[in-house]
Structure formats: structure tokens, C-alpha cells
Amino acid sequence: MKELPELTGELFGEMMALFADGTLTPLPYTAFSSQQVVEAFRYMQQARQIGKVVVTHDQVQREAPRKALSRDALTLPEDASYLVTGGLGGFGLKTAGWLADRGARQLILVGRSGAASDEAQAGVAELEGRGVTVVAAACDITDRGALAELLARCRESLGPLRGVIHAATVIDDGLIRNLDAERIARVLAPKIDGARHLDELTRDAALDFFVLYSSATTLFGNPGQASYVAANHWLEALAASRRVRGLPASCLRWGAIDDVGFLARNTRTRDALQERLGGSALHSDDALRVLEQLLVHHGDGPLGGPTLGVLELEWGALARFLPTAESPRFGEIARQADDDGRSHDDGDDISALLAGLSPEEQRATVTELLRVELAAILLIDEEKIDVNRSVYDMGFDSLMGVELMTAIEGRLGVQVPVMVLSEASTLDKLAGVLISKLGQGTDDADDDVAELAAMAARHGAGDLENTDAPGKEPTS
């Protein structure tokens, strides 16, 4: 290049022409942000990439010029309008009421069926009784044309659009093996297509905020909600993209909210999620106070950044369900957690309970405990679990095996290897093994453990008592 700059330019010109006509193509790559270096190396270590693994420096963001909101409390102008998707029910409708509390007097509330439900009609009536002009629109936000038409009508009859909150969601839980394209699209479309259309159709609006409702499950995953978690990950990426482009964007990863919305109506799902996270479910008023602070501080303060997790969690409870609990990304949470040996206390309580029972009652008690844990993992009703049927015939897999074993350790205070399930694959047999481990078993249970120990030895795993703890790689 230094000695023959003209030849260098000529060669590069020829090469770029080959790229332009498609003869040559750039190498494929997978990009990680500069805050994901550890994840990048793990990804490369697993040989999962095609092409290069690239660490970017895309965290430099340009703030959009916009009118400053109050530093102490959110005050919204009466002459502006605000749009809430999913705003005719649940947490979306609660959010609409919160906007009215903060001064909004023109609201566009969007739902697929409009104000058809009793909840929606009562909510709209309550808002109108407070002097709020409400457009309760039946609009499929996955239809770009329909959404564009709605926004055009509202521009003619309402004040300028100054804020968007995308709260629409569809829940259709199921294990991946039971999903099909239609069920996946049913969950992805409202969040992803709706957000994409809102992003495109409000580019020219002088928005003070553009809020996306995500879920804390993107931080930890959640069995049975693969599509839901994927859709929320996409929302978080959109928020980051808007911020880089100088557009307002905030994304809230909400934990379980107990008083409104889907989880308030489906208490079983709420309880399962709450058990997974530990802690308590959020009250909607508390959640919206956090949203207010995020909007007030524009991402500059301690709540800053395009995404924020808002949840109550108990690390000890969460870690026993989380196969990646020991990864570096959760190191700070783990260090700050105050576990106080609760797992062992639970084990002592169970041991004391079993000590006063007959062998038959012991087995029934432990079997029922296992049924509850398995129902939470498989997201099915406890009544549908046959304790004499192999768990693998119910959609159980190896990752769930790790989850079940960590749950057993947390509830009973005993460790058993995942490989136990290859022999004791029914809950009834597994209960026998656990009773023996607790020192309460019968001769049959002792025989179970002896057989499993022999099986472990045949596979090079050594004595059953010294087998690696659940979640770790086997030593063989």
C-alpha cells in the first residue's frame, strides 16, 4: 500500500466491483455488544457461529431533542393525545387511568375488539366521567393499514400525539414440542408487528415517550413461554435501536403483577411464575410509579437505559429453577442475595414432618410434593400427572430434569443426580429414592438406591453419594 498506492487503489476497486455485482459477499457474522463479551466467548466456544463473532461498540447513543418533563412528577399537557395499545383491558387499561391521573385528557385506547367487554366499557365510562376524551378503537395493530387509518383520523380530531405505550400482548403458553407456526405467530404478531408499525407510523410525531411493555422472563427465561419471551426480546432490541437513532424509547421488563391483567385472571400461572422468581408479585400502582420515574429522568438517572427490569425476586428461590444461575451475568445478584440457608431449613422441616408418618404416608407425601413441582415445570394441572407414568412420556426433557433436581434440593435439602431419572422415571419410584436419602425409607427404597448406585457405577459416575450436583457436567 505504501510503495504502490495506485496499484493498491486499482486492486481495491476491482475487489469492490466484485462485491457490488455479487461475485463476492461479506463474511457472515454474529454481533454482540461490548457489554456481552463473556456471552460472545461462550458462543464461540460452543462452535455455534457461522463466520465471525464480532464485539461492537454500539452503546453510544444520541439523545433526541425533546421538551423536558418535570423532574419531580410526570405532568402531561391537556392539549396532547396519548395512545395505549392493549389499553382496553388489564394493565393497559390501568395505564390509561394513570395517564389521566398525570394530566392527559385525550386518550386513544386500542384493542382488537374495541370496548366490547364489561371491563373496557366500565373503564372508558370512568375516564369520560373525569373529563377525558377517549377514542376506544377496535383495531388490529398487526394490520399496518388499519393502524395508519386510525392515527390519521385521530390527528384530525385530537391534539398532537405526544406519547405511545405499547401494552398489547397475547398469552398462549405451551412447551416448544407442542407449538406450531400458527400458535407461535399468534403470540409474536401483536408485540412485534404492532411495535414495528407504531415505530414506523410515529416517526414524524414529536413524541415525549415511546414505551414498550416487556417481561422479566427475558432475563431468566420461562418454560412454556418461548414465543412470549422471544417477542419481548424483540421489543427490547427495538428500544435500543430507537435510542441509537435519537428517538425516545423505554422498555419495561415487568415482573408478575397481581391485581390487574392476565396474571390476575390466571392465578395458577401467576403463582407458578411467582414461585419461580420468589419474592412477591407487583402491585400495578407500584409498577407505574417506577415507569413515572423512568420517564421523568429520560434515562439519565439511576433508572436510565433503554430497558429496565421491574420485579420482586428472591434469588434463592429463582436460582433453584435457573440452570444458568452460576453464570457471571447473575454474579452481582447472587452476591447480594441473603439466602440464610432457607433451603436447608425446608429440608429439616420436611424431615420432621416425615418422621411422624408411616412409610405409606411418607411415600404419598413426597410423591405429592413431586407432583406439585412437576406440574409447575410442565405448566399443566397437577391432576393430569400420573405418578406411575414415566415423566419423559409427559414432555419432560433433560433441562427440565435439572430444574426438578434443583427444586428437590431446595424443598427437601437433598441432592440427587439427574441420571436417577433414567431408572426412577416415575414420581412414585423417585419418591422412594428420596425417602431413602432422607433416612426414612423402607427396604424397597434402599434397594432402589442400591440399584441406582450400581447403574451409576456402570456408567462411570462413581458412588451415588459422590455424584456431581444437579446442573453440573458429569465427571465421566
Element spanning 163, H or E: strand 161-166
pLDDT, one tens digit per residue, over 241-269 is: 998 888 999 999 988 887 787 666 666 66
Strand order in the sheet with 209-215: 133-138, 106-111, 81-85, 161-166, 209-215, 250-254, 307-310
Residues 375 and 359 sit within 8 Å (Cβ to Cβ): no
Contact indicator for 198, 241 with CB cutoff of 8 Å: no
Could you give the percent of the chain with pLDDT greater than 70? 77
- The dihedral formed by the CA atoms of 288, 290, 292 and 293, expressed in degrees to the nearest 10: 170
CATH number of 342-466: 1.10.1200.10
pTM beyond cutoff 0.75: no
Most confident range (mean pLDDT) of 273-277, 300-304, 331-335, 356-360 is 356-360
pLDDT tens digits along 382-402? 888 888 988 888 878 777 888
Domain residue limits, the chain: 17-60, 81-313, 342-466
CA distance 415 to 434: 9
Rounded to whole angstroms, how far apart are CA atoms 87 and 165? 9
Mean pLDDT of the chain: 79
For residue 59, pLDDT beyond 70: no
Q: What is the pLDDT of residue 67?
A: 45
Choice among 28-42, 99-113, 281-295 with the minimum mean pLDDT: 28-42
pLDDT range class, residue 303, cuts 50, 70, 90: very low
- Lowest average pLDDT, out of 84-93, 236-245, 459-468, goes to 459-468
Q: How far from each other are the two terminal CA atoms of the chain, in whole angstroms? A: 54
What letter would DSSP give residue 464?
A: G
Lowest mean pLDDT among 60-69, 412-421, 438-447: 60-69
Q: Among 97-101, 239-243, 380-384, 437-441, which range has the highest average pLDDT?
A: 97-101
The whole-angstrom separation of Cα 210 and Cα 434 is 52
Given this model, what pLDDT does residue 326 score? 75
Q: Is the pLDDT of residue 443 over 60?
A: no
Residue 316 vs residues 231, 319, 327, 338: alpha-carbon distances, Å: 28, 5, 15, 8
Domain at 81-313: CATH architecture: 3-Layer(aba) Sandwich (3.40)
